[in-house]
Amino acid sequence: MIEICLPVIIVNFKTYLESTGKNAVELAKKAEKVNRETGFYVGVAPQLADLKAVAEAVEIPVFAQHVDAIKPGGHTGHVLAEAVQEAGAAGTLINHSERQLKLSDIDEIVRITRQKGLMSIVCANNPTISAAVASLKPDMVAIEPPELIGTGIPVSKAQPQVVSGTVQLVREVNEKVILLCGAGISRGEDVSAALKLGTQGVLVASGIVKAKDPYAIMREFAEAMKM
């Protein structure tokens, strides 16, 4: 079983050029440095084409951004859990608002990751969807209102009721799942606000990837978690 130290920071590299190829490896090393210096759990989710190189370069957990609800076979152009695992992934994002899935596929992918010992982080747009996916028993649920993604307006401060409402609804159906807060998180105070509202970490993308000094921001996030 995978052991996770709470709270956690997961950095989604998306498909930004700043986090593609060599840049992906460099950014992952900065994340690893923050992990070494602060002890906080920092994971990274690079693109598939970069996954193996990143996983070989760092010792922090590396996540795929997506896997498909398939078994080995004839599925050209799809993402096989076995392939990302052999490439070094510790888990995967599922149903990110930029890669939304049919409900039956989310269910199937959570099952596949559980069987393989991969961590599952299911993304959800709002409190009711968060509760729905929590009942599928993934390892983590990340609440990310899509209208705030990439805006720099942190959900934890702009819509605290969305986060607290999610915590409440999710806890009614699942006491164990780790709850992450995403969308618009770009400063340490956004992170501490998220934790105070009852989440156990953050899922962040442009706030780190597009920052002038991603290391400094990750460090700021980690410092905010100490408090």
Nearest alpha-carbon partner for 42 in 25, 53, 30, 55? 30
| Active-site annotation holds for 144 | yes
Neighbours of 74 (CB within 10 A): 6
Q: Which of 10, 31, 44, 50 binds its own copies (CB under 8 A)?
A: 50
**# of chain residues touching its own copies (CB under 8 A):** 66
Return the SS3 of 89: coil
> Pairing between strand 8-12 and 41-45?
parallel
Q: Is 104 exposed, middle or buried (CB count within 10 Å of its CB: 0-12, 13-18, 19+)?
A: exposed
| Active-site annotation holds for 66 | no
Judged by beta carbon, residue 130 or residue 224, the one nearer its own copies is 130
Q: According to the binding rule CB under 8 A, does residue 195 interact with its own copies?
A: no
Q: Which stretch binds its own copies (CB under 8 A): 45-53, 155-163, 188-196, 211-219?
A: 45-53
Q: Which of 44, 62, 93, 142 binds its own copies (CB under 8 A)?
A: 93
| Rounded least distance, CB 111 to its own copies, Å | 9
Query: Cα 170 to the chain's mean position, in Å?
Result: 17
> Pairing between strand 41-45 and 63-64?
unpaired
Query: What CA–CA distance (Å, rounded) separates 183 from 6?
Result: 19
Let me know the angle formed at the C-alpha of 25 by 24 and 30, rounded to the nearest 5 degrees: 95
Judged by beta carbon, residue 111 or residue 157, the one nearer its own copies is 111
- Give me the residues that bind its own copies (CB under 8 A), please: 12, 14-17, 20-22, 45, 47-53, 64-66, 70, 72-80, 82-84, 86-87, 89, 93, 95-104, 106-107, 124-126, 128-129, 131-133, 135-137, 149-150, 169, 172-173, 205-206
List the catalytic residues: 96, 144
